[in-house]
Structure formats: C-alpha cells, structure tokens
Amino acid sequence: MIDLKLLQKDFGGVSAKLTRKGVDVKLLDDLKKKNEELKVAKVDYETLQAAQNAMSKEFGIYKKEGKDVSELKAKVDANKINIADALEIQRVKQEELETLAMSIPNVPDDDVPDGADENDNVEIKKVLSPREFAFTPKEHWELAEQNGWIDFERGVKLATSRFSVSFGMGAKLERALINFMLNFNSKRGFEEVSVPSLVNRAALEGTGQLPKFEDDLYKIQDQELFLIPTAEVPVTNLYQDEILAPNMLPIKMTAYTSCFRKEAGAAGRDTRGMIRQHQFHKVELVSITKPEDSDKIFDEMVSCASDLLSALELPHRLVTLCSGDLGFGAAKTVDLEVWLPGQNSYREISSVSNTREFQARRAKIRYKDGDKNSFVHTLNGSSLAVGRTLVAIMENFQNGDGSITIPKVLEPYIS
C-alpha cells in the first residue's frame, strides 16, 4: 500500500502522482478527508494524554503535601474514560484510512511517461526481425487445429469457454517450454521454487490483488482460499511478515504454475484461441531486494525475459508502459511483446514490474537496515507465459503446408 506517512507529509505531491495513474479525484478527496480525520483524532488523544500526565504529576504533589485529592482523582478518572474513547476513535480512523488506502494503486515512478492507455506506451527497442513469408501466414488457432495440437471444443466440453486441451506435440511443447524456461532462468541466478496453487486472502492482499480485483479471482466456496492468478502471489508471500537479514538479499526466484483468472474485464476480447484463457501455464520471475539494488535487478529481469525470447528465435519488442496503463501495484513496467505474423501485430507475452515497497508494505516484508527495519523492494515478471509462447512458435515457425518447425533450442527437451 502507499506510504501513509508520506501521504500525511505531502498529500498534494502524492495526489498529483496518483492522478497521473488515473486515480479518481473523488477517491483522493476521500483519502484526504480520512487522513485529516485521523490527524484530528491523534491530536485529541495526545491532548488528553498530556492532560492526564499533568494531572498525575499534580496528584503526586497533592498527596505529598497532604492536600485533599478527591476532586482531582475524579478528574483523573473521568479523563481516563475520555482517553479510552479517544484511543478507540483513533483506532477506527486509522482502520478506515488503511482500508481506503488498500484500494489506492501504487505511485508511478517519475520517469514513467504520461499517457491514458496502451496507445501511449513508448517503444524502447525491437529485437530480431520478423520473418518474411512466401505465403499468407495463418493464425495460431488454425494451425493448432490443423496439426491436432490444441482442441478448443473439448476444453469447452470439460469446463467452459476459454479453456483448451493440448494433445501430442502441443502438449509436449508446453512441457518442453516449461523445462526450458526454468533451466534458462536458473542459469541466470533465479532459484527454482514450487508453490501451492491455492492461497489465502492475506497473500492476495499482500501483492495487491485484493480487495480491488476479487471479481477476477476464482474462490473456493465457504473458504478463504483462492486459485492463484499468477505465481507472483505465493512466491512473493513466501517472506510475508518477516524481517530478512541483509546478506539474504537479493532473493531471486523462478516458479512454474498454472494460473487462473476469470477475465471478468475482458469480455469480447481474444475470444478465439489461446491468447486469453481462464487457465494457463506461466513461468514467473520474482525478486526481493534492497531498495538501492531494485533498478539493477529490474534491468536483469527484463534482459532475462528478452534473452529467453531471443533463444527461441522469436522477434519481439520492449515497451515502457505509460502512467495510465500501469498495473495496480506497479511503479514501473516494461512489457515484452512478441511478433505474431498471423495477426500481423506485436502482442504482450511478458510484463516485468518494479513495485518498489508497495507490496512489501502490504505483506510486511522488511530487512535489517542497520539499526532499523526497512521495507524491501519486490519485483515480478513473466518469463514467460507458456501458452502465448506456444502461440508465437506456431505462427513464427509455420510452413506453407501448415506444418510447424520446432525451434532448435527445444529439441533436447522433446522426447
């Protein structure tokens, strides 16, 4: 969550940055009101506490001098009740402010470009040149059905729309991609971890999916357990409510999981094929680091994802997201978009985000910083979305007869 102390110290400055991210002015006004109410409640409590301290000293003097303390004692007792009431009001105001603050997104970095949506994102560079075809390239769902790799109708039969079933080489390639990605990331210094696919509410609050995005999550009925939307949630929360030794940092991890999303806000988008599914496989990168190292780690994660795409011989580009397109928890994000010749466009295949201390503050992840405990910085990124990588391979490695060539780097992983 945002730094409430910074908010109290510089409400105007923080509000201006949040407005860049498209935060509603009314929400900021409500936040300001709650902030002011808390400040008043704190002053009231401190005033009463100061009066209590003064009366306590006076009470001691009265007793020492043998004066009648009955009237003063009555005042002290009455003030104790007022203090208890004031403390409860302060607690309620603090809780109201924190509850509202949990729905406020992270503040964007100053160097994030201004913009309203994805049309205002800024291209950093292109990597590898798209292949020129002597024929009109097909889209992945045509190729998948023609080669018998993916069956969309049977996915609907087993579940509902936006589910699919992989067969034969399609299933083998998914497995090959997962193993290749994990090995690639491990060689780049990311420790492999295996985590649950179910997490509790606290974990999702820690990484920022709750309370704002509950409608997009699959919840287990009558339990406070949810299917994970990304491995970022369990992997980051491995260190929830811990104080880490400085020599533990940075912690760099990679994990494969299935991911589950209702895609509640994506009605009518990418209804065909595998681009946007309710269940998909993904290999994730997560880093936990000291603040002074987070920019360096961010660059390492972007390079890792880009180099992985290059190893697969997939043309792609790097894009800096503008302020209006940033995710809820992100202070800065670079998207990697892979070239899909069947669609004749670049499509997102990875997002690498630095959340600064936003998630750490929510999940209470700190490290020993000299004599004090400071919040770490957390970073996450796809490396990569397996289904979208399979889509990119099908479209980029297709042949005129509809067959698909297997990238050389994956051949050792297919048996």
Residues acting as catalytic residues: 261, 276, 348, 351, 388
CA–CA–CA angle 378, 379, 380 (5° rounding)? 135
CA distance 349 to 276: 11
Whose CA is closest to 159, among 259, 277, 257, 256?
A: 277
Side chain identity, residue 53 = N
CA distance 336 to 384: 10
CA distance 184 to 412: 13
What's CA 48's distance to the chain center, in Å?
42
Phi, psi of 39, deg, nearest 5:
-60, -40
Q: Contact, 381 vs 351, CB < 8 A?
A: yes
DSSP-H helix ranges across 188-323: 201-207, 232-236, 294-311
Buried b / exposed e across 191-222, counting CB within 10 Å, b at 16+? Answer: eeeebeeebebebbbbbbbbeebeeebeeeee
Phi, psi of 40, deg, nearest 5:
-65, -45
